[in-house]
Structure formats: C-alpha cells, structure tokens
Amino acid sequence: MTSNVFEIQSLIRQALDFGIAITEQQAQSFVIYLEELWSWNRHKNLIGLSVPDKIITELLLDSLIPAPFLPTQGKLLDVGSGAGFPALPLKIYLPNLTVHLLEPNQKKVSFLKQAIRLLKLNGIEVIKARLEAEESRLKSEAYDIITTRAFTPLSQTISWCRPLLKPGCRLVCFLGSQGPADLEKAEPELQNQALKTEKTLSYLLPGKAEQRHTVIFLK
C-alpha cells in the first residue's frame, strides 16, 4: 500500500521492531490521518516537521511506543493534544479506548475534529480548554490513562494529572531525549504525589542518534 505523500509500509516494518503489529486497516487509517495533517500543515502550521519520513517516525511511531504496555479498554485523557499525538494514533491502534483530547488552541481543535470525522472514530471527544481550567470536570471523569508530550515541566505535569487518575492507573509521559534528567528533577514530586515509575521505555527511533524516553507512572 502506498500513499501520495506517506509510505506507510515503512511504519509497519519499524513498528514490528517495537512489538507493535499494525493491521492493514489501521495502516489505512494512519494514511488518512497523516495526509489530512499534511494538507492542513501547509496553511496552518500545526507541527514543526515538514518531512514525511520524520512525521511517520518522530510523531506517529513515537506515539505508539507505549501501546503494548497499556490496557486495551478504559478512558484515556490526552493533555495538550496539539495535532493529535499521541492520542489519535493510540485510538486507532487501541480502538476500544474512550479518548478525550484536551487542547486549548482553536486551530488545532478544528483540525482534531476534522480528523476524527474523516477517520469515522467513535468514543472520542475534543475538549477545548486548558487543564487547569477544567480540573474539577476532568477529576470527575476518573481516567485509566493520561498521556502527555512534555507540555509543562514534569513536576507540574505530575501535580496536575495525578488527581485525575483512578487508583492503580497510569500516567504516560513522553520525555524525549531529556528523560533521565527530567525524572531526577521530578523525584520529590513523585514521592509527594505517591506515584511510582512502572516502566521506563528508552529507545532509538529510526534515523535518530539520541535515545528517547517514555515513562509510565502508576498511581
């Protein structure tokens, strides 16, 4: 299968190296998502990357890295969704999750809603708001998974997100190359919030020289 812009077969091959088996139907959904993002990004500047191969690896593949370690059902909150990473790839890969995408930027909210319509996804909602403004509402939802891509310093992320999690549930933080340093700085807040590190995923994405780190915390 090929796309006018995106060669998705490379994603399928690369994902297998991380224990992620992508079906043809999922691959088709990824193509629809990425091509719509590509179209919007030419006019709206939703993401900083402009090379298709980098978008596939550094955004899409990276979003899927924790998928083998997450529950396949439950309620997921993505904080600071931007153009939909990691929440939309995770929803496509784990379709039984109920997903809430929290994003304050109207331009990005409009894109997310359009992508959801094109993908014909169910059990997914875009919330136009900042986390601190919606804390009481989100706390009542009691999430099984919260994902973030370094939208604030890790200590602040932990402080804001932990109260929204059910006991025994997970906060997934994509920390990039600075993961170990971020973890060290956040250790006092981890102890204060009674969060423990369940799993640290350290990995090299294809074509990248620096390791990335995604950490799964358990409440």
CATH number at residue 200: 3.40.50.150
pLDDT reported for residue 123: 98
pLDDT reported for residue 151: 75
User: 147-164 as b/e, with b when 16 or more CB fall inside 10 Å?
Assistant: bbbebbebbebbebbbeb
193 within some domain: yes
202 within some domain: yes
62 within some domain: no
Domain count, the chain: 1
Beta pairing, strands 212-218 & 143-148: unpaired
30 within some domain: no
Confidence of residue 152 (pLDDT cuts 50, 70, 90): confident
80 within some domain: yes
Phi, psi of 10 (to 5 degrees): -65, -35
Q: At residue 5, does pLDDT exceed 70?
A: yes
147 within some domain: yes
Domain boundaries, position 191 = 69-218
Q: At residue 114, does pLDDT exceed 80?
A: yes
Average pLDDT of the residues of the chain? 94
95 within some domain: yes
Asked whether the bond before 86 is cis by omega within 30 degrees of 0, the reply is yes
What average pLDDT does the segment 152-172 reach? 95
pTM confidence score: 0.95
Cβ distance 37 to 82 under 8 Å?
Answer: no
What average pLDDT does the segment 175-193 reach? 93
What average pLDDT does the segment 58-65 reach? 97
11 within some domain: no
